[in-house]
Chain A
Amino acid sequence: MAEEQLVTFSLGSEEFGVDIMRVQEIIRIPPITRVPNAPVYVEGVINLRGNVIPVVSLSTRFGMARAEETDLSRIIVVQVQSKVFGIRVDAVTEVLHLDSDSIEPPPPIAVGVDSQFIRGVGKTGERLLILLELDQIMGGD
């Protein structure tokens, strides 16, 4: 049976998942340099071992209230079509397997998140996971 491996994280009161194959690494939040005149959802750029990569604030991107930075806050560094960027999340929760069967297409009226960023909704036990469409996070619009 087809199965997906996901990295899950929390943002506000929702739980999200991204395909683990897209995740390059997960890091603590380093100093972020703001970039003037960049799109609002770009929080800035960081130094990832000598490379400068942009960081997206998912809460801004999804129009959610922004949570305070805590010890649990992380940046998930992902790779989309050979481009690398970071997404800032409130906490990384776990890595889990999910049957492809239990993934449903995004509901027409998404749970407070613009549906273009959603690939589907996954169910595991009582939990609902919003699966992110990473290709749309940067650019798109």
Chain B
Amino acid sequence: MSQDDDKNQGVELGEFLDFYLLDSQEQIERLGAGLLQLEKEGGNIGLINDLFRSAHSLKGASGTMGFTPIVEITHAAEDLLDRLRQGKIDVSLEMIDVLLAVTDRVKAMLEQVEKRQEITYGSKDLVNSMKALLNGETPAAAKKTELISTHEEEAPASFEPIDFSLTEQEREKVNDAHGMGHGVYELDIKLSPNTLMKAVRAVMSIQRLEGMGKVIKILPSVEELEAGQADGFSILFLSDEPSEEIRKEVLEITDITSVTIFPHVTAESAVKEPKISNNEIVNRETENNEIVKQSVPVSPNEKSRSAVTPAVPEQAQTHGESSTQVHTIRVDTVRMDNLINLVGEMVITRTRLVQIGLDLKSQYSTDPMVNNLNEANVYLGRLMNDLQESVMRLRMVAIGTVFNRFPRLVRDLAKKTGKEIDLVLKGEDTELDKTVVEVIGDPLMHLIRNSVDHGIESPEERRAAGKPVHGTVTLDAYHDGNHIAILISDDGGGLDLDKIKNIALSKGLINEREELSENDIANLIFLPGFSTADKVTDISGRGVGMDVVKKALNNLGGMVDITTRKGKGTTFTIRLPLTLAIIQALLVEVRDEIYAVPLSSVLETLLVNRSDIKTVGGLQMVQLRGNTLPLISLQEKFGLPDAETTNNEVFVVVVGFGDKALGLIVDELRGQQEVVIKSLGDFLNNLPGIAGATILGDGKVTLILDIGSLLQDVLVTRKI
């Protein structure tokens, strides 16, 4: 099919295109992940079958849509995987590399398709290297295929025999038949989709077969066929007739479109299978004839085998998937965001209702109608909470979707740097908001690159240090209260703290006299323009990274922290809020202004005596249960006028994540409320200390504090 055809079809295919893209991207992801697993674990027939299926359905779907270049390239990949699963060639690093390159190329092609562009990427080079791999069969493998016995051994894997769940007696019969040299066949019979009275076809088949031998079992049972939607059935059959005869007999029944016959394999029969030669394995599925064409016959036996095998996994797949896919539904994210916006507006409106209810109560406290209103409000509130939680849950996505792209990254980086690195993923099931998942990818990638490039030492260094040559980078995620914690740790050499300190000194980021803890020094690398790499590499860049990472995470209302131990490794800990849409907030008043503090980061509120506040090095502190708590006055921070206050006590809101805490000095606490986070827009989105805005019940805009950046300000930049 040519590119011109694509354009002509464009209109009709438009609505299918999105489905095609979604599905193909999924298949490509699966292929990529599977290949990496293959590289690690080596030949595993189940895995190779999966890979083959992905390539096959990718090819099929692309063919339907008319994307010829994708078909060409996936076709060759499918060939290669087919040979692989037949055991005719062995997995090699070279092959994995080529196949990974294929996934990259197809991804790029799909991107063009997504942008409604013509596919300009070629496929020749990759197709050729795959062909070369195809022909590079080892002589040993070729010889093996000539022996019928090895073929019989492999049969179970490639046929994926139907599970008939035989009873003890039935199994005995089958084994007896085997022992006596009778043939035992599995018949896979397909009906044309519109067949009425499917059960009747089954009964007719059984009657005809009984004339030639003995039917042991039919699946699904005749009763089930009568009730169900099955488009075919399988029969376990004992007979001395050749399989071709059996097939003809069944095919005479109307509405039976295809019959596939293969020998039934039991534990005993796998060893000896005298009656059935390969030539008797027949397949009459015409639509698969291109698969026959593409396989390169080595021996006559080969041909018939490759003709049969591709059909079976496909059937197995459709059987398996039909039961699971019904439970999920794909929804456009725009629709979902719309729903969430509506819920957000409802939350605001409910807050107004509550306020009106309270106002009414203070005016008409005796009127029972006011109480009714308030009761209804309380009930509405509960419903809103449930609704909101359900809606938010819709947006939760497992972080695995982000993690999955990293094994490939680490593999490639490791190759490039000549290091040996394992990436261990943990907690991939941890769920967090889609909005967070979408933006967390880049910061994570940067930290991982950093761990691979600067963290893990070269194999020689590791050997010299008495460590395993294989370095390990671990990516871990777990829920921690209202936050998600993501850990990126390596077992490398740890940060060179002296070097960091020297660089910070030479760049004037800190001064000589400052006494910094190890942790403080490690955190210096988040300052803008800091790089410790002796040489600039194209992996972790020019030292523009860490401050950007920090900033990106702060923008999400999160923060990042480092712990490092010399010779043992470094761990980056990221803490992020679970959701960015609707949160519980504590409203605080500073002079005449009201600010919202995300409740998830509020640890406690205190009433502190002014005389207890000490100033150390320009920073206000207060002793709290034996620990020093740094304080920030919001009035100073936000440039508000001093108040001539007579109060001896001030309110302090203690906020923090993990073991980091900070006190915010405010004038009043105004209570807790649900708020919908709104963006301040492109013009104002990077203001220090402000995470966003929200609209209160009275319609006024209130700013939401960015606790992450406030904390980081105190923990890092106060040192400057």
- Measured between C-beta atoms, what is the minimum distance from A40 to chain B in Å? 11
Q: For the complex, what is the distance from the CA of A46 to the CA of B680, rounded to whole Å?
A: 10
- Asked if B688 is at the interface (CB within 8 A of a chain A CB), the reply is yes
- Which among B640, B681, B689, B702 has the highest number of chain A CB atoms within 10 Å? B681
| Inter-chain contact A36/B681, CB cutoff 8 Å | no
| Inter-chain contact B682/A31, CB cutoff 8 Å | no
Query: Which residues of B sit under 8 angstroms from A121, Cβ to Cβ?
Result: none
| Inter-chain contact B684/A35, CB cutoff 8 Å | yes
- Asked if B699 is at the interface (CB within 8 A of a chain A CB), the reply is yes
| Inter-chain contact A37/B688, CB cutoff 8 Å | yes
Q: For the complex, what is the distance from the CA of A53 to the CA of B680, rounded to whole Å?
A: 7
Q: For the complex, what is the distance from the CA of A67 to the CA of B345, rounded to whole Å?
A: 35
| Inter-chain contact A46/B683, CB cutoff 8 Å | no
Q: For the complex, what is the distance from the CA of A55 to the CA of B419, rounded to whole Å?
A: 54
Return the CB mask of B691-708 against A: 1 if under 8 Å, else 0. 001010001111100000
Query: Which residues of A sit under 8 angstroms from B700, Cβ to Cβ?
Result: 31, 33, 47
Determine the residue in chain A with the shortest Cβ distance to B590: A36
| Inter-chain contact A47/B687, CB cutoff 8 Å | no
| Inter-chain contact B679/A34, CB cutoff 8 Å | no
The residue from B348, B639, B695, B701 contacting A37, defined by CB atoms under 8 A apart: B639
Query: Which residues of A sit under 8 angstroms from B680, Cβ to Cβ?
Result: 35, 45, 52, 54
| Inter-chain contact B678/A54, CB cutoff 8 Å | no
Determine the residue in chain B with the shortest Cβ distance to A31: B700
Query: Which residues of A sit under 8 angstroms from B699, Cβ to Cβ?
Result: 30-31, 47
- Contacts A35-B684, A37-B688 given; indicate if A45 touches B638 (C-beta within 8 A): no
Of the four ranges (under 10, 10 to 19, 20 to 34, 35 or more), the interface on chain A belongs to 20 to 34
Of the four ranges (under 10, 10 to 19, 20 to 34, 35 or more), the interface on chain B belongs to 20 to 34
Determine the residue in chain A with the shortest Cβ distance to B637: A36
- Measured between C-beta atoms, what is the minimum distance from A84 to chain B in Å? 8
- Asked if A50 is at the interface (CB within 8 A of a chain B CB), the reply is yes
Return the CB mask of A54-86 against B: 1 if under 8 Å, else 0. 100000000000000000000000000001110
- Asked if A18 is at the interface (CB within 8 A of a chain B CB), the reply is no
The residue from A33, A37, A84, A139 contacting B693, defined by CB atoms under 8 A apart: A33
The residue from A30, A33, A36, A42 contacting B683, defined by CB atoms under 8 A apart: A42
Which B residues between 418 and 461 are near A, CB-CB below 8 angstroms? Answer: none
Query: Which residues of B sit under 8 angstroms from A13, Cβ to Cβ?
Result: none
- Measured between C-beta atoms, what is the minimum distance from B533 to chain A in Å? 33
| Inter-chain contact A33/B701, CB cutoff 8 Å | yes
| Inter-chain contact B638/A36, CB cutoff 8 Å | yes
- Asked if A1 is at the interface (CB within 8 A of a chain B CB), the reply is no
The residue from A34, A37, A52, A83 contacting B682, defined by CB atoms under 8 A apart: A83
| Inter-chain contact B693/A52, CB cutoff 8 Å | yes
- Contacts A33-B701, A37-B638, A52-B701 given; indicate if A45 touches B690 (C-beta within 8 A): no
Return the CB mask of B130-164 against A: 1 if under 8 Å, else 0. 00000000000000000000000000000000000
- Measured between C-beta atoms, what is the minimum distance from A28 to chain B in Å? 13
| Inter-chain contact B684/A83, CB cutoff 8 Å | no
| Inter-chain contact A83/B690, CB cutoff 8 Å | no
Determine the residue in chain A with the shortest Cβ distance to B348: A50
Query: Which residues of A sit under 8 angstroms from B638, Cβ to Cβ?
Result: 36-37
| Inter-chain contact B678/A51, CB cutoff 8 Å | yes
- Asked if A132 is at the interface (CB within 8 A of a chain B CB), the reply is no
Query: Which residues of A sit under 8 angstroms from B359, Cβ to Cβ?
Result: none
| Inter-chain contact B687/A38, CB cutoff 8 Å | yes
- Asked if A138 is at the interface (CB within 8 A of a chain B CB), the reply is yes
Q: For the complex, what is the distance from the CA of A55 to the CA of B298, rounded to whole Å?
A: 77
Query: Which residues of B sit under 8 angstroms from A37, Cβ to Cβ?
Result: 638-639, 687-690
The residue from A47, A52, A138 contacting B679, defined by CB atoms under 8 A apart: A52
- Asked if B593 is at the interface (CB within 8 A of a chain A CB), the reply is yes
- Which among A35, A44, A46, A83 has the highest number of chain B CB atoms within 10 Å? A35
Query: Which residues of B sit under 8 angstroms from A34, Cβ to Cβ?
Result: 593
Q: For the complex, what is the distance from the CA of A54 to the CA of B682, rounded to whole Å?
A: 10
| Inter-chain contact A52/B683, CB cutoff 8 Å | no
- Measured between C-beta atoms, what is the minimum distance from A124 to chain B in Å? 32
| Inter-chain contact A36/B639, CB cutoff 8 Å | yes
Which A residues between 4 and 41 are near B, CB-CB below 8 angstroms? Answer: 30-31, 33-38
The residue from A36, A45, A47 contacting B689, defined by CB atoms under 8 A apart: A36
| Inter-chain contact B683/A139, CB cutoff 8 Å | yes
Query: Which residues of A sit under 8 angstroms from B684, Cβ to Cβ?
Result: 35, 38, 42, 45, 54
Q: For the complex, what is the distance from the CA of A105 to the CA of B700, rounded to whole Å?
A: 41
Q: For the complex, what is the distance from the CA of A8 to the CA of B683, rounded to whole Å?
A: 25
Query: Which residues of B sit under 8 angstroms from A85, Cβ to Cβ?
Result: 681, 683
| Inter-chain contact A45/B687, CB cutoff 8 Å | no
| Inter-chain contact B695/A52, CB cutoff 8 Å | yes
Query: Which residues of A sit under 8 angstroms from B640, Cβ to Cβ?
Result: 36
- Which among B679, B684, B695, B703 has the highest number of chain A CB atoms within 10 Å? B684
Query: Which residues of B sit under 8 angstroms from A38, Cβ to Cβ?
Result: 684, 687
Query: Which residues of A sit under 8 angstroms from B695, Cβ to Cβ?
Result: 47, 50, 52
Determine the residue in chain A with the shortest Cβ distance to B682: A83
Query: Which residues of B sit under 8 angstroms from A30, Cβ to Cβ?
Result: 699
What are the nearest 5 A-B pairs in CB distance? A36-B638, A33-B701, A52-B693, A52-B678, A45-B701
Selected A-B contacts with CB under 8 Å, 18 pairs: A31-B701, A33-B693, A33-B700, A33-B702, A35-B690, A35-B703, A36-B637, A36-B639, A36-B640, A37-B688, A38-B684, A45-B703, A47-B699, A47-B701, A52-B678, A83-B683, A84-B681, A85-B683
- A-contacting residues of B (Cβ < 8 Å)? 345, 348, 593, 637-640, 678-684, 687-690, 693, 695, 699-703
Apart from A52-B680, A52-B681, A139-B683, 4 more pairs, CB < 8 Å: A33-B593, A35-B680, A37-B690, A50-B348
